Amino acid sequence: GQQLNQSPQSMFIQEGEDVSMNCTSSSIFNTWLWYKQEPGEGPVLLIALYKAGELTSNGRLTAQFGITRKDSFLNISASIPSDVGIYFCAGQLDPGGSEKLVFGKGTKLTVNP
Amino acid sequence: DSGVTQTPKHLITATGQRVTLRCSPRSGDLSVYWYQQSLDQGLQFLIQYYNGEERAKGNILERFSAQQFPDLHSELNLSSLELGDSALYFCASSVALWAGEIDTQYFGPGTRLTVL
């Protein structure tokens, strides 16, 4: 089945630093999503990307849908302690099939104040 | 708060037992998805229901089954439980009007299942 390779697995940064993480796939996706999960909670949608090449921002977060439709990246600028959590990328298959999401294994972010 | 509710929040049971997890989707959402999250496998799609009917199946074991009721809430039934079934089980919902419609899934807080 489809797999997403998400990197890095974990990041330890200082407050105020910028963060970058990415996802690559061997398959094409028509939608890329980025979620954040905090301990004891479900994933919360941060950004959704629907078109190849699309660059979308949500506050300090910026994500891009790769031109090849096989990759996406998420940037967080000027990190703050509440950015701590696990960030997941997810790809959604062609709506002509099923709407299931394929998730990356996550990037665990730790922000030191 | 995503608007998706799941009960119970925690469940502890023994091997061989059967449990039922419940999910209420966001108001207006017709589609419900079930996911399993374990440490080694990450988030895995199990099954999707749309307006009461099964729409897509993922890596769901035969010991597991689900259904969506007329009021659109869904239940995931796990039977003959094994130690390896211990995981977080998430429900997500979306509008999912029809194939091709841009759709977004919103996740519930999850049910943590521990099988002893």
Q: Kindly report the CA angle at A112 between B1 and A17, in degrees rounded to 5? A: 90
Q: Which of B43, B91, B93, B112 to mutate to test the interface with A (most CBs of A within 10 A)?
A: B43
- Closest-CA residue in chain A for B96? A99
Burial-class residue A59 by CB neighbours within 10 Å (0-12, 13-18, 19+). Answer: exposed
Report yes or no: A109 and A19 within 8 Å, Cβ to Cβ: yes
pLDDT tens, position by position, B41-82: 788 889 999 899 998 888 899 999 999 999 999 999 999 999
HSE-up of B33 (CA within 13 Å, CB side)? 25
Name the E strands within chain B: 5-7, 10-13, 19-24, 31-38, 42-50, 53-57, 64-68, 74-78, 87-94, 106-107, 111-115
Q: Which of B4, B48, B108 sits opposite A100 (nearest CB)?
A: B48
What mean pLDDT comes out for the span A13-38? 93
Test B109 with A42 for CB contact under 8 angstroms.
yes
Report yes or no: A105 and A90 within 8 Å, Cβ to Cβ: no
Residue A98 pLDDT > 60, yes or no?
no
Separation of alpha carbons B89 and B19, rounded Å: 12
Test B58 with A100 for CB contact under 8 angstroms.
yes
At residue A2, the pLDDT reads: 64
DSSP 8-state symbol, B50: E
Mean pLDDT, chain A, whole residue set: 90
Report the candidate in B8, B35, B27 with the shortest Cα–Cα distance to residue A90. B35
Residue A1 pLDDT > 80, yes or no?
no
Residue pointed to by tokens 């194939």 = B99
Q: Does B105 contact A at CB distance below 8 Å?
A: yes
Taking only Cα atoms into account, the Rg of chain A, rounded to an integer number of angstroms, comes to 14
Separation of alpha carbons A41 and B71, rounded Å: 25
